[in-house]
Structure formats: C-alpha cells, structure tokens
Amino acid sequence: MSSQKNYHSITNRVYAYCHIWSLTGYCLVSIALLCQGCSSNTGSTSRIESPANKQIEFIGAPKLVVKNSSYDFGNIKSGSTNTAIFNFANVGDRPLKITDVRRCCGVAIKLDKEELAPGESGVLTAQYRAGQTSSLLRRKIGLVTNDPKNPQVELLITGKVVETLTWTPRHFEISAYQKDVKCPEITIKSLDDTPFAIEAFDATGPCFTADFDPARKATEFTLKPGVNTAKLKAVSLLELNGKLTIALGHPDYKNINLTFKAIPSLQAIPANILVFNAKANQSVLRRLQLRDNQADSNKDAAPFQIESLTSKNGSRVEIRRVTMNKTGCELELQIWPFIDDTTKSFSADQLTIKMKDGRELSVPMRVFYQSGTLSSALNSSSN
C-alpha cells in the first residue's frame, strides 16, 4: 500500500514539472515572437547579431562598394595633366548618398552623381596636374556616404613626376646699385631629347632683355640676358623680388619661371612699419634698421648720414636716437600718425629717408586703430 502511494506521488511531481517546463517554453517562444514582431516594425535599418561569428549585419541599408580604391599613374611628365577614374556602386537595398568628398591639394574632383539607387553605379574622376619638378605623388581622397557600416572610404592616387626639361639657375641675386650689373647666364636643356624653341622673354620691370630666334629649335639653349640698370634700380626701390618668364614651344612646358632678388643700395628692416591697436592723436615708438649694402663696394663713399626724414601724407616723425653699427644704423622713431578721414579703422602713409650722399629710401607705414578711437577723434575734431 505504501509503495502505491509513493508511485502516485512521483507521478504527480513529474507531471507538475512537465507542466511548468511547457509553460516556461511557451512563454519564451511568445517573448521571442513578440520581440521579433517589434523589431520588424522599427524601420528600414535593423541589426541582427549572428551567434556563430558575432558579426553585425545591416538589413535595409545602403552599402558602398568601390571597384578600385587606388590608382597608380606610374611615371608622369612634369607639367602634364593626368586623370584617375574610380568606379563604385550601391549594393545595398536603400539609396546611397554621398555627403562629402575630401581631397588633397592639387586634385580636382568630378562626381557624376551624388545619390545612387540600389544596384546603381557611379564614377568619380580625379584630375591631377603635375608640377615642374621631380617628386613622388601621393594624394588621398575621402568619400563620405550614409553607408552605416562603412561611412568613409579612402581612395589613393600615386605616381612619380619626372622632369623632361631643366634650367639653371632657378633663382639668383643681383646688386642693383652697382654700375656694371650682370645677370647670370641661363641654360635650358631637354632631358628626353625633345627639341623646343624659345618664343618669348619677359621680366619684372622689364629690367632684363635677351636675344633669341623664336624660329630655331634645339634640345639646349644658353641665354645671356642684358640688364637695363635704370629700370632695375626703379624696380629695386619698389619690389625686391622679381621674376623672369620664358615662353617655350615645348609639349610639356609652355613657360618656365626664374625668380630673382634685386639687392638695393639702401634697405629698411623691417621693410614696412606696422602699428596695431593704436589710439588716435597718440604717438608710437618704432625702431628701424637702415642697411647700407654698398658700403663695402665703395670705400670712398661719404659717411653714412641722414639728411632728412619726411612723410607723404603729413605724419609727424621725430628721430629720437641714431645708433651706428657695421651695416648702417638703427633709428628710434617717434611717430604721430596721419589720420585719414576717409576710413574708420586705419591710416596709411609713406616715410622718405634722404641721405646726405643723395640716396633715398621709401618705407610704407600702416596704422590700425583700436575700435572706436579713430571715429571718436574725427568726431571731436569736426566739432
């Protein structure tokens, strides 16, 4: 009798456990179905994590695929224009939008379309113009899209710029104050044996001239420029840096440039006087170095002495101290700037320093006033 009771007790426990497990399983299945139903109604992009590899897959989203992410030009000629083409496509199931294209300097970008439908392809064209000197080329382009998995793709352009022409010098200096000023000879040579012609010769000023035959072609030329001393001195007073431009009949070089520096007889350091945060009707102190560049070349020159210092527009200037040195002198100037009533923020003037030996030097001056101080001074003077 006791054994029969035990049997019924065990049976009831098993039945209860099975009933609990079935209810639990039903609840788990219901919760899973409920969660799945919620996720399917959230929108176009959902993420499902695969338990096998733990990777996140985007469903209902754009996806950018680039066919070629790098383009190598190889060896390219200096001065040449080169084009790289990148093909890409949207393999997702939502529209792909290109929101930005980030590029390096020297690269021009053309995009055929900014939005791609699912399955649609696009083309990005990158154009690079090589410089005139040999160099390694490496430029990056960033393609920014609404692809949630890969929002920015980097494209790379590489190559090597190879010179096909060379010339010397590229830069030179001349002493504008000398009686017999000479310009160095200019040699232009083809590096790949391509014949060319010199078609034109121009210079800042123009203070240089050169004889050439535009009808003659060769693989190498040597020019012997002449110097117009009067024009060179005029240029050196206004602009110390100049440029020579030589036009060529060459397939890779339409023209070449040489820069030069004309060293004047007198030189101010700094070349301009700038005053910031000035107050109207108040003086400012400035130091100015005067360099006598021709002192070493002219041993019989008169002593380095200043005869006068004047301004073009009426600024009042006083020399408080002169300190002589090996290259010239240092001036300590007290300046009451000229007030220009045509503006409310700054005034401009030009100081002229005249030496006792007849030489002159012009120094531009610009004064920027504190906000409101110049207008207040102009209003008070008018009243």
**Nearest-angstrom CA–CA distance, 226 and 204:** 13
CA distances from 357 to 266, 275, 330, 376 (A): 12, 30, 18, 43
Give the architecture-level CATH label for domain 165-263.
Answer: Sandwich (2.60)
pLDDT of amino acid 21 = 38
Burial class of residue 21 (count of CB atoms within 10 Å of its CB; 0-12, 13-18, 19+): exposed
The strands making up 306-311's β-sheet, listed across from edge to edge, are: 273-278, 360-369, 346-355, 306-311
Classify burial at 198, counting beta carbons within 10 Å of its beta carbon; exposed 0-12, middle 13-18, buried 19 or more: buried
Per-residue pLDDT 10s for the chain (383 aa) are 444 444 444 445 444 443 433 434 443 333 333 333 333 333 334 443 444 444 455 668 999 999 999 999 999 988 789 999 999 999 999 999 999 999 888 899 999 999 999 999 999 999 998 887 888 999 999 999 999 999 999 999 999 999 999 999 999 998 888 888 889 999 999 998 999 999 999 988 788 899 999 999 999 999 999 988 877 777 655 567 889 999 999 988 889 999 998 888 888 999 899 999 888 888 999 999 999 988 766 655 567 889 999 999 999 999 999 999 888 999 999 999 887 666 568 889 999 999 998 888 999 999 998 876 655 555 555 55
Quote the pLDDT of residue 37: 35
DSSP strand pairing (70-77 vs 152-162) = parallel
Q: Do residues 63 and 147 touch, judged by C-beta distance below 8 A?
A: yes
- What local confidence, expressed as pLDDT, does residue 39 receive? 34
Give the distance, in angstroms, between the CA of residue 17 and the centroid of all CA atoms in the same chain.
78
> What confidence score (pLDDT) does residue 1 get?
47
Gyration radius from the chain CA atoms: 39
Peptide bond into 169 cis (omega under 30): yes
pLDDT at 232: 78
Sheet of strand 186-190, all strands in order from the earlier edge strand to the far edge:
165-168, 186-190, 220-223
List, in sequence order, every residue forming a beta bridge with 355; answer none if it has no partner.
306
Same fold flag, 64-162 and 267-382: yes
Cα dist from 223 to 201, 220, 262, 367, whole Å: 10, 10, 19, 45
* Residues ≥6 apart with Cβ < 8 Å to 181: 174, 175, 227, 229, 232
> H helices then E strands: how many in the chain?
3, 28
Q: Which helix (H) or strand (E) holds 231?
A: helix 229-238
pTM of the model: 0.59
- Give 330's strand partners: 289, 323
* Predicted local distance difference test score (pLDDT) of residue 36: 38
**What fold characterizes domain 64-162?**
Immunoglobulin-like (2.60.40)
Which CATH architecture group holds 267-382?
A: Sandwich (2.60)
pLDDT of residue 124: 95
Q: Is 335 exposed, middle or buried (0-12, 13-18, 19+ CB in 10 A)?
A: buried
| pLDDT value of residue 11 | 45
- The residues, ordered by sequence, that sit 6+ positions from 343 with a Cβ below 8 Å of its Cβ are 374
CB 140 within 8 A of CB 158: no
List the chain domain ranges.
Answer: 64-162, 165-263, 267-382
Say what the pLDDT of residue 42 is. Answer: 35
For 352-381, b/e burial (b = at least 16 CB within 10 A) is: ebebeeebebebebebebeeebbeebbeee
